[in-house]
Amino acid sequence: MYFLCCGNKLLYSTILGTIQSVSEDQKAAVTKRFKKSWKGHPPEIVTIFKINDIDLKRQWKNYGIMLPQKIETCEEYYHGALLLCDIAGDKKLCNEENCGICITLRDSFNDQSCKRHQSSTKFDENFILDLCSSSSDKHTKENKYGCRAVLLCDVLPGRKYNIQTHITTDRIPDGYDSISAITEDDLQSPIIIVPNYEAILPRFIIVYKHSH
């Protein structure tokens, strides 16, 4: 496991007080991507919510423009965290102290309950996200409603430093904006490591259930 955290803080509470339902076409498209990146038999999708804020998207786009290399390629990554509330039924973010999904959105990945730790690295001030939905599932936990949740995010990696083996460095090298690597926990599932929250645009909350 590994921490997902950031030294800087961007408050999401004013812009993500509500979440939106998705159209059938959007649900089908996101479900397809989620299942395609899942290794093994994928779980059942309960519901999908859209996160759509003009100011947040503008900030994300401005980050891409300001990248030194002007590399604005967008990539999709997943973030899994503890879900305590009945977000599928309530259709809104909760105020639960330890609900990682809602806190991640309200407080910009800055709360202890949504942090993840990988003992072999020292990326305590960076964001770490998973390329595969099944890998992000490892950082979730089934709540009392039988659900789990992950965030599907757009990431601007800029100039990536590619590591073909598991992570051995403790910082993003000079001249690079992110690191693409694999972890000792899952050698088949790449992760992305970025130092700035502006590089990440949370777009969808995917709520799902495992079949027992």
Q: Structural domains in the chain? A: 20-160+194-209 (3.90.228.10)
Rg, C-alpha atoms of the chain: 16
Nearest to 202 by CA among 8, 20, 2: 20
Confidence at residue 19, expressed as pLDDT on a 0 to 100 scale: 87
* Mean pLDDT of all residues in 185-206: 84
- Mean pLDDT is lowest, of 28-32, 81-85, 114-118, for 114-118
87 pLDDT exceeds 80?
yes
> Which pLDDT belongs to residue 188?
65
CB count in 10 Å sphere of residue 65: 9
Q: Of 30-39, 75-84, 92-101, give the lowest mean pLDDT range.
A: 92-101
Q: Given pLDDT bands bounded at 50, 70 and 90, which one contains residue 109?
A: low
In a 10 Å sphere around its CB, with 0-12 CB exposed, 13-18 middle and 19+ buried, how is residue 53 labelled? Answer: middle
Question: What is the 3-state secondary structure of the chain?
Answer: CCCCCCCCCCCCCCCCCCCEECCHHHHHHHHHHHHHCCCCCCCEEEEEEECCCHHHHHHHHHHHHHCCCCCCCCEEEEEECCCCCCHHHHCCCCCCCCCHHHHHHHHCCCCHHHCCCCCCCCCCCCEEEECCHHHHHCCCCCCCCCCEEEEEEEECCCCEEEEEEECCCCCCCCCCCEEEEECCCCCCCEEEEECCHHHEEEEEEEEEECCC
Instruction: Tell me what the mean pLDDT of segment 10-22 comes to.
Output: 57
Place of tokens 């997902």: 4
Confidence of residue 70 (pLDDT cuts 50, 70, 90): low
pTM: 0.83
Cα separation, 109 vs 111, whole angstroms: 6
Q: Is residue 90 scored above 90 in pLDDT?
A: yes
pLDDT of 31: 97
Higher pLDDT, residue 72 or 81: 81
Quote the mean pLDDT of the chain: 80
Indicate the pLDDT class of residue 184, thresholds 50, 70 and 90: low
177, 198 in Cβ contact below 8 A? no
Q: Confidence band (pLDDT; 50, 70, 90) for 89?
A: very high
Taking residues 97-101, what's their average pLDDT? Answer: 87
Q: What is the pLDDT at residue 34?
A: 97
Mean pLDDT, range 51-74, rounded to an integer: 80
Residue 5 scores a pLDDT above 50: no
